[in-house]
Structure 1
Amino acid sequence: MKTAEIAQRFLDHFEKNDHVIVPSASLVSSDPSIMFTIAGMVPFIPYLSGLVPAPYQRAADVQKCIRTLDIEEVGHTARHGTFFQMMGNWSFGDYFKEGAIGYAWDLLTGAESDGGLGFDEKDLWVTVYQDDDEAARLWKQIAGLPDERIQRMGKEDNYWSTGQPGPAGPCSEIYFDRGPAYGRDGGPAVDDNRFTEIWNLVFMQYAITNVRSKTDFDIVGELPQKNIDTGMGLERVAFIKQGVENMYEIDQVRPVLDRAVDLSGRRYGAAHEDDVRFRVIADHVRSSLMLLADGVTPSNEGRGYILRRLMRRSVRAMRLLGVDGATFPELFAASRDAMKAAYPVVETDWTRISQYAFAEEETFLRTLASGSTILDLAIDQTKQTGSSAISGPEAFLLHDTYGFPIDLTLEVAQEAGLSVDRAAFDALMLQQRTRAKADAKSRKRALADQSVYRQFRAHGETVFTGYSDLQTESTVLGLLVEGVPVDRASAGQVAEVILAETALYAESGGQVADHGMIVGPGFELDVLDVQRPVPGLVSHTVEVTQGEVATGQPATSVVDAANRRQATAAHSATHLVHAALRDTLGGTATQAGSLNRAGYLRFDFSWGQALSAATRTEIEEIANNAVHDNLQVTTRVLPLAEAKELGAMALFGEKYGDTVRMVDIGGPWSRELCGGTHVAGSAEIGLISLVSESSVGASNRRVEALVGPDAFRELAAERAIVAQLTSTLKTPRDQLPARIAELAAQLKAAEKKIAAFRSKALEGRLPALMAAAAAAGALRVVAESLGAAASADDVRHLALQVRDRLGPDAAVVALGADVNGRPVVVVAANEAARAAGAKAGALAKAAAAALGGGGGGRDDVAQGGGTDVAALPAALAAVRTALEAA
């Protein structure tokens, strides 16, 4: 019985019994907490949990599923598959245990001629939850099963929940006895290899809470609506009905295995290791086909990474079978033909699916060619040194330089009897991610040696269409990865893309590069930077986020419109600020550099002194008046000489050809040579707020400003602060500066008085400290805590006073204090103490160690500190201990 026929019989059976037939949901789960649909019940969770009313009372489906937790078991057992299909029937508050058991038994044991599956009743066993007397009774009543074929199991096996508070209930599993050749008699409780589970009936009837583990939770009562959730593994039923050994040999999978056998020239069944590889290939190719059909594409993250891993494991398994060339055109075609009866999309969408599959294999074969050699050498060297683990840096080199996946490195190492220093590898990966984030943030990446651009520049200049268009169709002229020309770049890689035309602005004239994307058939590229590595040529640094891009492909550059609009406003605002500066300061205030990006501008100019507050206000007012007047912005392309005659200002550091682009704002008032993008009228800028003016050299100044919404937000924040101050200080806004200055002066005077008071108070403690001197061997020692002190200098001054008043006999003074929340210890030793071996620096270090900090200094006076004020007594005790031990 074909697999597709089994599925159809299942659906027909339940449709006859008034179930709505629901199509399979995508393998890509709509639940954000999981990547894939990992079980048949996933699409029904909202109904089972009661979050969403079910649109039907009873339903049936055949659901596509992907599980990757057991990926290492694939090929080793009869049951583990990455892609599988789960047949299920569902009741939402309709029938319960009796109905579920009756429908299942009728389908399983019904004659094939009547649409049933034709299982012999004597081959079927069931398990029930140990306390579920009702289910046991119903199995006897409906199926006539004897007690010995109804086995009771505990929560570990026969109680279902999501693992979270919510619906739960006992379940009953149906097993098929494969016969004595497969193990011991005695039912599933004895041997679950001989007795293979084919169907699980979940009786969802309780609400649970305080879930501590799979078997430890609190039942809080019965659900208001009892549900039925069943799952029958299609592949398991198929390998039993088809009389084959495992799921890899059923009609939907075996053709791939057979094609791998043909390509390798090895026989299936001759060697265990080869058999495992054949089964891995059969499973992974089918799984990859189905993932591609549901829109997943190979990448280095998330679902795409799982797909890439499956495909690359298949490639490597074929290599271990002796096949070095491309095999996906044969293997995927075989899987397509085996699956198209059940899933026609694999045939109708074959062009797209095959494009991704074949390109991924081609890319990985190149990776293997370089990476395998390096890994083999690493394995040999590791063994020669007697080590049992490949180093983290070696594994990282394979991953980072050669694209060799860490999972594959782990597998190859394990086969060679070695491990991998995964902790060191992960640390290097973390460092790389940190660097990558910094690169992305700055949007700066090193461009390749300019000579590699020659072949691309030979096609002519890159046409920039972004003055009028935010989206332009073009063609990929070239690709660079790590500065080397390549034919294609895959998801996860950073590359440079050369297009014939682009709407994306390349950084120049102070304006930063556009944000945006480049998209094409089956690929998406996130634009990280746009530069002109050689005159006339635009290079886009991108991260391939989806699919694979190749030379010669059509590609559309798409500008981030919001970012461009704000960057354009900032660039036009820079011209206004420049003109306002010249109006205010005169023609000698010439431009020395600029930067403008969305919401922000920075302008450097030649000037030898700081701008007064009044001058800054005047410049800001002139620029904003120009915004208010909505000056017309015009651009002209004309000869350089003519532009200079018209008085156009040239941008700092910019090189110009014979023909230039001149931008006028308000006619000659602002006239500059500029290749940047600009607003059509100055009112589009919105607002300019100068936020700082500073020195950037002996004769250069810098002004910075916020533009548009960013300027408004800044001013709104300042207004809120002023309002708060006027309310708190009960002072009118125009009197705030004087009031704050008055308060600052009062505070400063008060601080001086407090400091003087503390110093005097410390000096008043001099007699008590003198009296506290105690003997420590031949030394007299004072080791006391002062409490709070104004400064460390006060503590030092007092320590020296005490030392000097103790006279010529050997004496050491150690005083501790809390100085603004930080512990300080000062140690002073007189000449006689130093001669006896007491060194203030060493003693200060001992005290600082107790404070969790450091210290040191000269032999006569030294200081230590730390972070723990409460440890001051321990620090002083450490000084005494050190002296007593000397």
Structure 2
Amino acid sequence: MKQLGLNEIREMYLSYFESKGHLRKKSAPLVPINDDSLLLINSGMAPLKPYFTGEEMPPSKRMTTCQKCIRTPDIENVGKTARHGTFFEMLGNFSFGDYFKKEAIAWAWEFVTEVMKIPEELLFVSIYEDDDEAFDIWHNEVGLKPEKIVRLGKADNFWEHGLGPCGPCSEIYFDRGEKYGCDDPNCAVGCECDRYIEFWNLVFTQFDKDEGGNYNPLENPNIDTGMGLERMATIMQSVDTIFEVDTIKHVLDTICSLAGISYNKDEKMDISVRVITDHIRSVSFMVGDGVLPSNEGRGYVLRRLLRRAARHGKLLGIEGAFLSELSKEVEKMSGEAYPELSEKKDYIAKVIRIEEEKFQETIDQGLSILEEEIKNLKSREENILSGEAAFKLYDTFGFPLDLTRDILEESGMDVDEDKFHEEMQKQKDRARKARLEKEIGAWGEDPFAFLGSNALTEFLGYDFMDSHSTVLGLVVEGSEAISAAEGSEILLVLDKTPFYAESGGQVGDIGSISTGDCDIKITDCKKGSLGRHIHYGKITRGSLKVGEKVHCVVDRTNRMSIARNHTATHLLHKTLKDVLGSHVEQAGSLVDPYKFRFDFNHFEKMTAEEISKVEKRINQAIQKSMEIEKFETDIESAQKLGATALFGEKYGDTVRVVKIDDYSMELCGGTHLDNVSQIGLFKIVSENGVASGVRRIEGVTGINTLKYVDKLENTLKQTAAALKATPENMIQRIEDIYGANKTLEKELSALKQQLNKNAADEYVNKVEEINTVRFLAIEASGYEMEDLRNLADGLRDKIQGVVVAAGDKDGKVNIVVMGTKDAVAKGFHAGKLVKEAASVTGGGGGGRPDMAQAGGKDSSKIKEALEKAKEVMQNQLG
């Protein structure tokens, strides 16, 4: 076999299936689009699910892709074995109701034997045990001998995901030779050893499983295949593991160089090298697709992988942050196939560096807590750390279990791993439950599925705000209907519509639909499957029937207000890049008639100067009255023109470009103005953080800007009136009041000091002596904590001993304990004393040996607390 590089194999596969009439599509982002059932894309077919279900029309009945994927169920095994990994690339060829088993099998065999030139004698296949059709094709048409075809059961060779489309599989295996086998004399395809490696799975989606468990034949069966690119590369390069494949080995060798070690010399170090190699690939691709570190969802997966890699860097002795630079090595190997890695190279490195630096801080905190736990275990003469404590270290500080275990072993201790995994499972169950609550089902639901795939909606709203249309379908109270009466709340689908359906962050249009005898108020419009526009409305007069002709009218004022806000977000996106840096990317948006909301990637709060600069530039752009051009073209041409595509957006072959003169150009399916001057005024109302590395700007345009300014002006006038000033001299009035207040505060402070002195003279007569140390315990209510500290401070200096002051303020107990250095030297400890005294009142606190404070809840027990303080003092001094 010819040695082929991983990038070379990818291109050969895609080119081969292009030659068989397949449309080559780029990998979808790792972040699923309109699919809450997945955190991250984990298979080649996952992004194509809407085509398999008929929810969307595929751009071609034959497609081929190389899809980047992330799977994390076996994350704890990554590094420990040479075959576990979290990131991989899945090659696939797909048929949506076009060709089926005969072609899929024939082409797979041709590619493997004639293009890859793998010797036939080293190849085996498996089929589903009842799939005689597949057996017949492999045996009679391909020419495989029966002993080369293995029948396996449902667990191995039947694909299904709950209800819906499913079917049998056929897998292709490569025989690596006896040296990879096991001692079982019956070792064959399906064995768990490393001899027979499965590298291509052909799924024949030919059934529809219903709620009764019946497998109903599909009218148009589909083909879904998946070949692991890394696995194929291990075969073609005659290496043992994916970590020795050319592109992956480059990253692995870089890590060894950074650590100053050699691979395959020390198994413990090899584990760390493999962990970092795998995880930096996953992390680089995830950040490149818009995922940011956080404490939940896919952001938590990213954070966990990144911190795990950083921790193993420490084990290898690599000093400081290193993963950000390592991500650039991933880009060198994969940037040509995945341009987003090259385009976002600096951004990816910055996100990784910031998170890695944060982890350096938290891991130090975790070490301190673990050291305290070890100390407590020793004091109790125990040697097992609780699973709950270990899980808290993991969940809060990103402390991996193996790190906790290693540190405990150094002290001759262990950890309750069963309880740790129990806590881990609880967390997984919570996350899975939350995800399932959002999920609408693996294959989706459509209230107008009964219309079939031929009933589509033509959208006219880019050019018109009204249309004459025909009713294709009605849904009343959740069910299909032929007609609807006055007062009914309905969903309806038309053959054509001017109503924009909610998508891309833009809300749906409102307006009216009517016949001569019927009026319908439209309150929303959303997209259903196949791009159908679903109109939400209520019949206010008459009745409506399927098939009737209707007149649609969009609320023009509402639409224009939305367009102002939407066009403003395009100006904002470009201006933020100019002011803050090219790393800024849109992370979400909402545009409605009243405001706009724009989320973007940035790592710190915007300054007042930056916000002002953005506002000024956008309003200057509005004054230039720049024309807005909207046109459709193919995706490649749009990208060549420099149009910006957004993270997580799904684009077809034909895209709509919104170009604002030479200022901004984005791919966008929303409705926009014809000239930026129609925005009128632009105003940022707020800027704040919504997630780690994500900021949010909210603002207004047009008449809503005037409303916002009017509101501010009214507030200004009311504030001025309250200050007995005018808006013009209000600042001077505030400065005068502030100055007078400072003078009063000084006078009050002087009075308090005099009162404390008088009180000190009164309290000093109550001094006792405990083992040669002067001791004073007093009840002093009505004092704030700061004033109580000042009183105790003065008394300590006056008596040159220990002072305990406790009192009630607004129902809350305050306790302060202070002592001289001489008292500390004799055994006095303020922190321990105040803790026990405060516990009497139902509170707690602590502090240094010479000074401490605490709070309490039950003021009726202040005297009891003071008695406890005296008792503790006596014990401390022996």
Name the TM-score, length of structure 2 as normaliser: 0.50
Q: TM-score with structure 1 length normalisation? A: 0.49
Q: Which has the higher contact order (CA 8 A, sep 6+)?
A: 2
Return the index of the structure with the highest Cα Rg: 1
